[in-house]
Structure 1
Amino acid sequence: MRDPLAPPSLRRSAVVFDVAVGAVAVLVAIASSEGQTVWMAVSGGLIALGLLVRRRLPTVMMTTAVASAVIQVASMHITVLSLLYAPMFFTAGGHPDRRVRRGAFVVAVVGSFVAGAVFPHAYGDFQTGDGGLGWATVFGTVGTGVVVLGGWTAGFVGHQRRSVAAAEVSETISELERRRVLDLYDEQAERSRLARDMHDVVAHSLAVVVAQAEGAKYTLDANPDAARDALGVIADTAREALADVRTVLEQLRSTESAGEIDRDDRDQLLDRMRAAGMRIEETEVGSADDVAVASVRVAHAVLTESLTNALKYGDLAHAVTVHHDWTSGCRLTVGNVVADTPLAPGGARHGIIGMTERAAHVGGAVSSEPSGDTWVVQLTIPDTEGTRT
C-alpha cells in the first residue's frame, strides 16, 4: 500500500542514498549497543529505520521518530543516534504538505524542551544547589533544538526556494502558453484571410469563364464573331485569375518569410528559460540556414514545448541538454532529468500530440520517452524539402 505522504516518484539515486545512510545508521546502532539497555537498542533501530524510509515512507519515518523519542524519555536515556533526527526533520520541514511541515515544527519545539528536561537525568546526577541542573537543562534544550529545529529549518528553506522557483516557472509557462495561443490565433486569422482571397479570385473568375463559355457554345454557329469575343474574354479572365492566384501565393510566401525563425528567436527562448532558473547546455552541428524554413519553424516549436515540459516536470538542479544537428535535415534532441516532485504535476499530453502533428506536416517524427532518470524528446526531419533559397 502506497504511503499517502510519499512523493509521486523518486530517482534511483535518492533511494540508494537513503539505503546507504540507513545502513550506516544500523551499523552505528549495533556498534554502540554494547553496554546499553534493550530499549536503547530498540530506539536506535527505530531511528535507523526512519532514515532508511524517510522519503519513500514519510509516515513510517515520523512514526518511528516519535516512537524512539518516547522510548528515550521513558527510559531516561538518550542514544547517540539522536543526532540523526536532523535529516528526518529536514525531510519533514521540506515536505510539500503544509500540515506535515507545521506538525513537524511543533514536535521539534516540544521535543527540544522535553529533551532538555531528560538530559540532566540521562547524563550525570546534577544538583540543584549549584545550578548544575539548570545549566544541564538549558544545554539539553538548546542542543536538541540545534539538531531538530536546525534540520527542520534547512528543509523549510529548501521548500521555500522550490516554491519561489515554481512560481517563476509558472509565470514563464503562462507567458509561453499565451504566446502560443496568440501565434495560433494569428495563424488561423491568416488562413481565413487567404481562404477568402482564394475564394474571391477563384469564384469570380470561374463564374465569368462559365458564363462566357455557355454563351460561346450557343452562338458559335449563329454568330462566330460573338463566340470569338467570348473566347477572348475567357482567355483574358483566365490570365487575370492566374495573376491573382500568383499574388495570393506570393503573400503566402511573404507571410512565411516574415514568420521565419532565426538564431535570435532561439536565443530569446533560451534566455527566458534561463531567467526562470533553468540551466541549459546547448550544442549545435551545422547551420539552420541550410535547412528548409518549415523545418526550422517546426524545430523551434518542438524546442519551445520541450523546454516548457522540462520546466514543468524536470529537476532544475540539473542542466537541460539541447542538441541541434542541421546536417541532412534536422535532428533535435532535448533531455532533462525528471524531478521527484514536479513543479507543475499532471498534464493532458496535448503538447506531445501537438509536437507530433507539427513534425508530421513536414515529413518528420517525434519521440518523447524516459531513459533512466532522464526524459528525452527527439525530433527528426529528413532532408526532403531542400535548402533555403
Structure 2
Amino acid sequence: MRDPLAAPDLRRSSVAFDVVVAGLVGFVVAMSDAGTGPQTYIAGGLITVALAVRRVAPSAMMTAAVASAVVQVAMLQVTALSVMYAPMFFTAGGHPDRRVRRGSFGVAVVGSIVAGGILPHAYGDFALGDGDTVWGTAFGIVGSAVFVVGGWTAGFVGYQRRSVAAAEVSETIAELERRRMLDLYDEQSERSRLARDMHDVVAHSLAVVIAQAEGAKYTLAANPDAARDALGVIADTARDALADVRTVLEELRSTETVGEVSRADRDQLFARMRAAGMTIEATETGSADDTDAATVHVAHAVLTESLTNALKYGDLARPVRVAHDWTDGCRLTVGNTVAADPLAPGGARHGIIGMTERAAHVGGSLSSTRTDDGWLVVLTIPASEGPTR
C-alpha cells in the first residue's frame, strides 16, 4: 500500500540507495555502540528503519523516528545514530505537503530542547562544576539544533528553490501559451480580413456582371448597341475585379499597410454602379483629405458593400442616397429602397458582418437596419487622435 505522503515519481534506484545507506550507517554505528545496552540497539534500529524509508514512506519514517526518540529519553541514553535525524528532517523540511513541513519544524524545535535536557544526564561530560548542567543543556540544545533544525532548514530551502523553479517554468509555459493564442488570434483575424476583402471584390463584381448580363439578354435583339455597352461594362468590371483580387493577394504577401483610397476610386465606383442602372444621389461635407487613410479605406469598403447590396436587393427605379460627412472623423449613410422582386433574393449577411468588423477595427460602429420602405446603412468612425495623412 502506497504511503499518501510518499514523494511523487520516486525511482526505485532512490529507494535502493536509501536502504543501502541506512544499512551501512546502522551497521557502523551498531559496532560503535557495542556494550551500551539493548535499548541503544532498539533506538538505533528504529532510526535505521526511518532512514531507509524516509522517501518511500514518510509516515513510517516519522513514526519510527519519534519512537526512537521516546526510547532514548526514557532510558536517558543517546545512540550515536541520532546524527541521522538530519537527513530525515531534511526530507520532512522539503516535503511538498505544508502540514508535514510545519509539523516537522515544530518537532525539530521541541526535539532540540528535549535532547539538550537529557544530554547532560546521558553523558557526564556535559555537566560542569558541581553538577551544574546549565551550560551542558545549552550546548546540547545548540548541538541538537544544528543537526535537526539545520537539516529541516536545508530541506525547506531546497523546497523553496524547487517551488521558484516550478513557478518560473509555469510562467514560461503560460507566456508561450499566451503567445500561441495571440498568434492564433492574429491568424484568425487575417483570415477574417481576407474573407471580407474577397467578399467585397467578388460579391460587388458579380452583382454588376449579373445586372449587366440580365440587361444585355433582354436588349440584345431590340437594342444591340445597349447590349454591346453592357458587355463592355461586364468586361471592365471583370478586369477591375481581377486587379482587386491580385491586390488582396499581394497584401497577404506583404507586411505593408493597405493602399490609400482616392476620390477617383469613389468616382469610378459610382460610374460602375450607374452603368449597371443605379441612380446615385451623393453629397459630401468636408474633405477626406483631412482624414486618416485607415478611416477612408474602411469608408470606401463599406460604401462598396452597401451599393452592392442596393444593386442586389434594391429597387433600381428609385435613387440610392449616399452622404459623406468628414468634419469629425467619418459619418457615411447609404439608403436605398428595397425591391419587391430583387435581383438576388436571400443572402447570408456575410457582407453586413464584414462591414461591422471593419468599422470596429478602426474604433467605429455600423448599423444596418430596415426602414419603412428601404434599407439604411450608417457608418460612424470618430476622428483619430493620431496624425492624419
Aligned position for 2:40? 40
| 1:97 maps to 2:94 | no
**Counterpart residue identity of residue 153, structure 1:** T
Q: Deviations over 1:106-138 (max 9, x none)?
A: 111111121122212322387675245334323
Matched, 1:208 2:208: yes
Q: Helix, strand or coil: the match of 1:118?
A: helix
Going from structure 1 to structure 2, the CA distance change for 1:20 and 1:125 (only over 3 Å counts) comes to: closer
Question: What is the identity, as a one-letter code, of the residue corresponding to 1:202?
Answer: V
Q: 1:222 to 1:170 in 2, by over 3 A?
A: same
Aligned to 1:238: 238
Q: Tell me what 2:152 maps to.
A: 152
Q: Name the residue aligned to 1:225.
A: 225
Q: 2:250: which partner in 1? A: 250
Give me the whole-angstrom Cα distance separating, in 2, the residues matched to 1:123 and 1:240.
Answer: 104
Label 1:222 to 1:160 Cα distance change in 2 as closer, same or farther (>3 A).
same
Deviation at 1:192, TM superposition (A): 1.7
In the alignment, structure 1 residue 49 sits paired with structure 2 residue 44 = no
Asked whether the equivalents of residues 126 and 132 of structure 1 are also in contact (C-alpha less than 8 Å), the reply is no
Q: Does 1:61 align with 2:61?
A: yes
1:174 CA displacement: 4.1
Separation of aligned partners in 2, 1:218 and 1:39: 117
**Deviation at residue 162 of structure 1 after TM alignment:** 2.8
* Equivalent-residue separation in structure 1 for 2:126 and 2:23 (angstroms): 36
The TM-score normalised by the length of structure 2 is 0.59
Shift >6 Å, 4+ stretches: 125-128
- Whether the aligned pair in 2 keeps the contact of 1:29 and 1:41 (CA below 8 Å) is no
Closer, same or farther in 2 for the Cα pair 1:110/1:202, shift >3 Å? same
Corresponding residue of 1:3: 3
Structure 2 Cα separation of the partners of residues 184 and 127 of structure 1: 75
Shift of the 19–212 alpha-carbon distance from structure 1 to 2, 3 Å rule, reads: farther
Deviation, 1:171, is 4.2
Q: Higher Cα Rg: structure 1 or 2?
A: 2
Equivalent residue, structure 1, for 2:71: 71
How far apart are 1:83 and its partner, in Å? 0.6
Superposed displacement of residue 32, structure 1? 4.2
Please tell me the residue identity of whatever aligns with 1:74: A
Task: Kindly provide the CA deviation profile for residues 248-296 of structure 1, in whole angstroms up to 9, marking residues without a partner as x.
Answer: 111112249xxxxxxxxxxxxxxxxxxxxxxxxxxxxxxxxxxxxxxxx
Contact residue 127 and residue 135 of structure 2 kept, 8 A: no
Which amino acid counterpart does residue 65 of structure 1 have in structure 2?
Answer: A
Bigger mean CA offset, 231-240 vs 60-69: 231-240
Distance in 2 (CA, whole Å) between partners of 1:228 and 1:241 is: 20
Does the 8 Å contact 1:212/1:234 carry over to 2? Answer: yes
Partners of 2:64 and 2:2 in 1: how far apart?
Answer: 17
* Contact 2:39–2:75 (Cα < 8 Å) also in 1: yes
> Which runs of structure 2 are paired with 1:127-166 in the superposition (5 Å)?
130-131=130-131, 133-166=133-166
Larger RCO of the pair (alpha carbons < 8 Å, separation 6+): 1
The answer as to whether partners of 1:201 and 1:241 remain within 8 angstroms in 2 is yes
Secondary structure, aligned partner of 1:246 = helix
Which ranges in structure 2 are unaligned for 5 or more consecutive residues? 257-389
* Counterpart-to-counterpart distance in 1, 2:11 and 2:81: 27
**Matched residues in 2 for 1:169 and 1:49: separation?**
36
Residue 12 of structure 1: how far off its partner (Å): 4.9
Matched, 1:180 2:180: yes
What is the TM-score when the length of structure 1 is the normalising length?
0.59
In structure 2, distance between residues paired with 1:215 and 1:127: 120
Shift of 1:150: 1.0
Percent identity over the alignment is 74
Which residue is 1:320 aligned to? none
Work out the CA distance in 2 between the residues paired with 1:20 and 1:213.
Answer: 93
Is contact 1:51–1:61 with CA below 8 Å preserved after alignment?
yes
